[in-house]
Amino acid sequence: MGTPDFSLPTLEKLYKSNHHIQLVITQPDRPKGRGLESSHSPVKKFAVEKGLPVLQPEKCSNPEIINILKNLDSDIFIIVAFGQILKQNLLELPRFFCMNLHSSLLPKYRGAAPINWAIINGETETGVTTMKMDTGLDTGDILLSSKLKIKLDDDAHSLHSNLACKGASLVLETLDKLDAGKLEPTPQDSSLVSCAPKLKKEDGLINWDESALKIHNRVRGLSPWPGAFSFLGSRRFRICKTKTSAADPADQPGSIIRLADRGIEVGTGDGRIIVTELQPEGKKRMYAKNFLAGNKLCSGDKFNVKPRL
């Protein structure tokens, strides 16, 4: 069971393994793009290409779906970024259990956006975890976990790709240990729990009173979606890529200090942010150097949390 790009490496590895895939379940096709044409999920595209049977229920808990899954007499259900909450009547169907791949080192960062919040919070390490599912939100017993360093130039997109590949290998390792009778589920330590709630567009609003490092981590953690943003005069700008730099005691948070080829230097509560790539509202993403070639900015102009008319 899976839907987006994050699910795909696991399905690919399972397909190439000696395990038998009885059924692929993914979310129903959704309208996409300006024409709102029906679009297949990455998982469905792969499954159809390889001739794997596909099911796309609106709700897996519906009695007719439960009956189909019950008749499969499966050993295990593998869930990777599926997008539906699974109820007890489904969790109890496979011979062994339902296994979920989660993109954090549980019990840290339970929830919908663990990759993003790990970067936003300045973590230097994250990972993937396979767990035995229960009806709670990422609360099941841990099966296996694997760590991954968060590099200084990682953003949510690059880390997402790396964790998807690492997670696929961990799923296969978990299955191998299960086959060998060497899998030992471990209850999660409730004292170490942290949460990673679903992202909202307003999470991207930059508070220039924060330190340059915190702002830089927010920009990285919210790329590509929902994106960090701020206002310059009446214009909304998405801040796509940044660096940090030392500050001068006279710097004012949000004020443009210097305009240079390397980027737009902006004061913060502690340190400077160098905006190297940005996207004006309604325009394409561009390097700061290219933006400055066609737009007049001055030292002293100020980014704000609200547009100034």
Q: Tell me the pLDDT of the chain (309 aa) as tens digits.
A: 999 999 999 999 999 999 999 999 999 998 876 666 668 999 999 999 999 999 999 999 999 999 999 999 999 999 999 999 999 999 999 999 999 999 999 999 999 999 999 999 999 999 999 999 999 999 999 999 999 999 999 999 999 999 999 999 999 999 999 999 999 999 999 999 999 999 999 999 999 999 999 999 999 999 999 999 999 999 999 999 999 999 999 999 999 999 999 999 999 999 999 999 999 999 999 999 999 999 999 999 999 999 986
C-alpha dist (Å) from residue 240 to 28, 135, 184, 252, 288: 32, 37, 43, 21, 10
Answer yes or no: are the C-beta atoms of 65 and 89 closer than 8 Å.
no
**Pick from 80, 123, 122, 121: which is nearest to 103 by CA?**
80
297 contacts 202 by C-beta, under 8 angstroms = no
| Residue 260 CB partners (closer than 8 Å, separation 6+) | none
Instruction: Please provide the distance, in angstroms rounded to a whole number, between the alpha carbons at the two ends of the chain.
Output: 49
CB contact burial 273-308 (16+ within 10 A = b; e otherwise): bbbbbbbeeeeeebbbeebbeeeeeeeeebbeeeee
Distance CA 46, CA 211 (A): 44
Say how far apart CA 109 and CA 114 lie, in whole Å: 5
Is domain 5-192 given the CATH code 1.10.300.10 in the classification? no
Residue owning tokens 């996409």: 32
Residues of the chain with CATH 3.10.25.10: 202-304
Say how far residue 115 (Cα) sits from the centre of its chain: 5
pLDDT at residue 31, as a whole number: 80
pLDDT of residue 36: 60
CATH number for the domain whose boundaries are 202-304: 3.10.25.10
Q: Which amino acid is at 150?
A: I
Where in the chain do CATH 3.40.50.170 domains reside? Answer: 5-192
Task: Report the pLDDT value the prediction gives residue 268, as an integer from 0 to 100.
Answer: 98
Q: Which residues contact 211 (CB under 8 A, 6 or more apart)?
A: 268, 269, 270, 271
